[in-house]
């Protein structure tokens, strides 16, 4: 189990909950969120995300990572109904990190 604020990832069941409500994630969204949670509060480079998500038979571009992060942000914001929670921040020129908004 990984926990950050009101976000919980159950690694064995591959389920995510936010404010104790299940959130539906695609495989790539899950992989990105898992990488960010494992590294929190450190920054994960965009290149590391590309490398960890790319398979030998399916290349992924940095632009695709941006799209998946954008979709993931929207799901995390929708799941909190304005009550705070977690946020994926862009660290310009480096990558992304996930923050617990309750700790700020």
Model confidence, pTM: 0.86
Convert 13-54 into a string of H (helix), E (strand) and C (coil): CCEEEECCEEECCCHHHHHHHHHHHHHCCCCEEHHHHHHHHC
For residue 52, the model assigns a pLDDT of 82
Number of structural domains the chain divides into = 1
Q: pLDDT digit string (tens) for 22-51?
A: 999 998 899 999 999 999 999 999 989 988
Q: pLDDT digit string (tens) for 57-84?
A: 567 778 889 999 999 999 988 765 555 5
For residue 55, the model assigns a pLDDT of 67
Calculate the CA 76 to chain-centre distance: 9
Say if residue 41 is preceded by a cis peptide, omega within 30 of 0.
yes
For 37, the domain range is 2-103
């Amino acid at each position: 189990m990984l926990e950050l604020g009101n976000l919980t990832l159950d690694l064995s069941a591959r389920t995510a909950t936010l404010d104790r409500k299940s959130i539906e994630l695609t495989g790539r969204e899950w992989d990105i969120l898992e990488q960010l949670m494992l590294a929190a509060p450190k920054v994960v480079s965009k290149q590391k995300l590309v490398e960890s998500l790319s398979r030998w038979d399916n290349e992924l571009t940095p632009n695709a990572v941006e799209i998946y992060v954008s979709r993931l942000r929207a799901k995390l914001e929708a799941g909190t109904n304005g009550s705070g929670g977690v946020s994926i921040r862009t660290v310009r020129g480096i990558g992304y990190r996930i923050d617990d908004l309750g700790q700020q």
